Amino acid sequence: MNQTLDKFKEHLKKMRQYEQAVCLLNWDLQTMAPKKGVESKLETLGFFSTESFKLSTSEEYGAMLQELSRPELFAQLDEGMQLTVKRGLRDYQRFQRVPQDFYTDYVTTSARSEKMWEEAKRAGDFSLFSPWLDKMISMTRQYVGYMEPEKDAYEVLLDMYEEGMDSATIDRIFDEMKEGLLPLLSKIAAAGMPDLSALEGHYDIDAQKKVQNMLLSYIGFDFDGGAVAESEHPFTMGICHGDIRTTNHYLEDAPLSAIFSAIHEGGHAIFEQNIDPVFVNTAAEQVNLMGLHESQSRFFENILGRNPNFWKPVYGQLGELLPQFQTVPFDVFCRAINDVRPSFIRTEADEVTYCLHIILRYEMEKAIFRDHAATDTLPELWNDKMEELLGIRPANDAEGILQDMHWSDGSFGYFPSYLLGSIYGGMFLNQIEKELGSLDPILAEGRVKEITAWLNKKIHRYGSLYNSRQAVQRVCGCEISAAPLLSYFNKKYGEIYGF
């Protein structure tokens, strides 16, 4: 037993070292690598990815997984190792069933498809992307068909990004959301739009970086266990235990963008920074539960960061670092960060209409994978759903179906995680307030780190040991429900918009 386990741990460590090289290369490509070095770095990335893939599908690794799965040995493993063996065996078996040639073809086609999507988006021309989307749909269907031949393709996809989740559950809670949101949005629309011109101006980017660092420290990001860099799109990446990094991007005329991206990515990073060190080199360290991950980033960004009380202790500092804010009255600022109105682009949407952007994508994905909707009918379907859900119709596909990258590389089934994250966040809020009392005074008194500590203790430390459903059950003692998020929305926006 001990010998197999030691050998297994050695193998895991080696896998992690290759993965660390792959992460670092990816990080570098997105934050630092100059244009002329990209080709060589992509080649090296390909080399190390292949070495890493070989390790995770080697016969030796498979034999160790089989051995450690034997009930009498499995029972002796600690919970981190049990998860590692269970997930490892599942993935090993899945990958074994995918023909090597098909896999290479799928990866290459994804990369090309992504490039074509970029081009089509730039040109605002769906017809350029349509044949590639068509190919990605059929290849993705084939890919998951190899991995899990007995199961419905879309269920497998959902499970890939949010283990343990299924469309029956999502249908139930997304319907709940839809029903609750439509009347809320009518009320908000009736209340009229605030005047936000006081925020217009030029905001120095070096100063925006200082604001970002101040806010990250304020919410509990550990600069000794992470770093921040600049990239085209903000993201968070765990390089290894003790090194969880985020990026940001800065707009000279829209300082709220970097501010809320910082808090959002900070939420992702704080999650991974606080995983218990006992899980180092186990599967629990890798949080592939996208809904749970989003629950933390969206909780920090929206439920904490857009609460006016969050800003009471730091609004003065914000004005010191970015003097333009000294002329923006506090209540105008609070209206600006809670400005709810229908818009076309998901990534720029407010926290309320955002939910409908996700429901739209979820319904589209079901139409694709369940109803086999023809690819060339998808733009029209998108626009119809947009009109139905948000009352606005895109003038072109760039602000419609072409806006997101996800489908271009085959990440079907990913979108629902965003809204699931918000919904879990609503449930966690509910539970925090039961245990710690109302957020408002905690935030107003500058004690946000007490909330961070609660999340660390209840959620972060376990990494992905429990899937999202299990985590919600453990933390809140009940099944997933959209009701807490809806009630948070109604209370908050009722106060802001006065209804």
Task: By CB under 8 A, name the binding residues for its own copies.
Answer: 14, 17, 20-21, 24-25, 28, 32-41, 43-44, 47-48, 206, 222-227, 229, 239-243, 245
Amino acid, res. 265: E
Instruction: Say which residues have a Cβ less than 8 Å from residue 296's Cβ, sequence separation at least 6.
Output: 267, 268, 270, 271, 421, 425, 455, 459, 460
> Which long-range contacts does 319-323 make (Cβ < 8 Å, 24+ apart)?
321/207, 321/210, 321/211, 321/214, 322/203, 322/204, 322/207, 322/208, 322/211, 322/255
How many C-beta neighbours within 10 Å does residue 277 have? 9
Which parts are annotated binding residues for Zn(2+)? 264, 268, 294
Q: How far is the CB of 278 from its own copies (least distance, A)?
A: 15
| Burial grade of 159 (CB within 10 A; 0-12, 13-18, 19 or more) | middle
Q: How far is the CB of 223 from its own copies (least distance, A)?
A: 7
The DSSP-derived string for 177-241 is HHHHHHHHHHHHHHH-PPP-GGG-S---HHHHHHHHHHHHHHHT--GGGEEEEE-SS--EEEEET
Catalytic residue of the set 19, 163, 265, 365: 265
Structure tokens at 49: 């990815």
Identity of the residue, 24 or 392, whose beta carbon is nearer to its own copies in the bound complex: 24
Residue in 313, 315, 351 with CA at minimum distance from that of residue 440: 313
Cα distances from 401 to residues 206, 228, 275, 385, in angstroms, run 35, 31, 37, 11
Q: How far is the CB of 431 from its own copies (least distance, A)?
A: 30
HSE-up of residue 71 (Cα within 13 Å, Cβ side):
0
β-bridge mates for residue 236, sequence order = 246
Annotation marks residue 265 as catalytic = yes
Amino acid, res. 334: C
Is residue 43 helix, strand or coil?
helix
Strand order across the 226-230 sheet: 226-230, 243-248, 236-240
Identity of the residue, 210 or 312, whose beta carbon is nearer to its own copies in the bound complex: 210
Identity of the residue, 50 or 347, whose beta carbon is nearer to its own copies in the bound complex: 50
Structure tokens at 265: 């990515």
Q: Say if CB 421 and CB 399 are below 8 A apart.
A: no
β-bridge mates for residue 243, sequence order = 240
Identity of the residue, 228 or 401, whose beta carbon is nearer to its own copies in the bound complex: 228
Q: How far is the CB of 245 from its own copies (least distance, A)?
A: 8
Identity of the residue, 91 or 222, whose beta carbon is nearer to its own copies in the bound complex: 222
Q: How far is the CB of 322 from its own copies (least distance, A)?
A: 14
Identity of the residue, 234 or 425, whose beta carbon is nearer to its own copies in the bound complex: 234
β-bridge mates for residue 229, sequence order = 247
Identity of the residue, 10 or 384, whose beta carbon is nearer to its own copies in the bound complex: 10
Q: How far is the CB of 320 from its own copies (least distance, A)?
A: 16
Q: How far is the CB of 47 from its own copies (least distance, A)?
A: 5
Catalytic residues: 265
